[in-house]
Structure 1
Amino acid sequence: MTHPVRPARLPTRAAPLADITVGSVGDSTVVAVSGDLDSSSAETFFEHTVTAIAQSPTGVIADLGAVTFCSCRGLSVLLAADHTARLAEVSFTVLARHRAVLRPLRLLGLDRTLDVRTGTSLVPLPRKELS
């Protein structure tokens, strides 16, 4: 006698697999993420980043140095944050060190749109203008 297979119960809302902290270096605000930048954490990251843009006229740095996975939603909020910063005339820099972030940025050409830094320096350069 066989029994029907029942699907596993999924949680109604998955817990985010990322930690987000906000700090400062010099006159810039740093929004740092560690773990996964995906659909469970992207909105929270975006909210913190937009708040930082509104409160930091000098610049905002998205420190993704400890991100181990970056989904399409994570990339999307980076573009939205950059757009928000451009409208507010605030410098927006993405600091990334790991392949999990750098590879999709390069493959999609976002490293030419966003101000992406691969080193450890948190000092933002003057904003690149798109032609």
Structure 2
Amino acid sequence: MTDPRTAPVTTTDAGIVTVRCAGEVDVGAAPHLRDALRAPIRGHARGVVADLSAATFCDSMVLTVLFEAHRDAQAHDVPFAIAADGPAVTRPLELLGLDRLLPLHPAAAAARAAVTGTPEPRRP
């Protein structure tokens, strides 16, 4: 059973869907994350961002879900990006070489900018 603190939370803004998971994102959360990413991709959203910037642990099943979502997004011509800045997500991706294959960004704003094709907003 997925801990409600790690269940994906989906928001939509101007056709861009952001799916956010925080805390320990493990094998229990993977199917929920898969479904949360698959629906907007297959529904031809304007873009999809997987925001794992608040994840403290990332299971190998979640890495598979991210890879599948990327492949699915390409097949449906939907821009897709991943936001992850902590070692819980970035380190396993680097070890597996997936950081060179997946659209990985250090923050949700950068991932959203990549999906929309607009420059990242500057901080004051």
TM-score range, shorter chain: 0.7 to 0.9
Q: Which has the higher helix share?
A: 2
Name the residue aligned to 2:11: 23
Q: CA 1:47 to 1:120, structure 2 compared with 1: closer, same or farther past 3 Å? A: closer
Question: Which residue identity lines up with residue 79 of structure 1 in the other structure?
Answer: F
Offset at residue 84 of structure 1 (A): 0.8
Name the residue aligned to 1:32: 20
Offset at residue 40 of structure 1 (A): 0.4
Kept in 1, the 8 Å contact 2:34–2:69? The answer is yes
Q: Structure 2 length as normaliser, TM-score?
A: 0.82
Name the residue aligned to 1:3: none
Please tell me the root mean square deviation across aligned C-alpha atoms, in Å. 1.5
Unaligned runs of 5+ in 2: 118-124
Higher Cα Rg: structure 1 or 2? Answer: 1
Unaligned runs of 5+ in 1: 1-14, 127-131
Name the residue aligned to 1:66: 54
Match of 1:55 among 34, 43, 46: 43
Q: Structure 1 length as normaliser, TM-score?
A: 0.78
Q: Indicate yes or no: 2:90 matched with 1:102.
A: yes
Question: Which residue identity lines up with residue 13 of structure 2 in the other structure?
Answer: V
SS at match of 1:19: coil
Kept in 2, the 8 Å contact 1:59–1:91? The answer is yes
Kept in 1, the 8 Å contact 2:8–2:21? The answer is yes
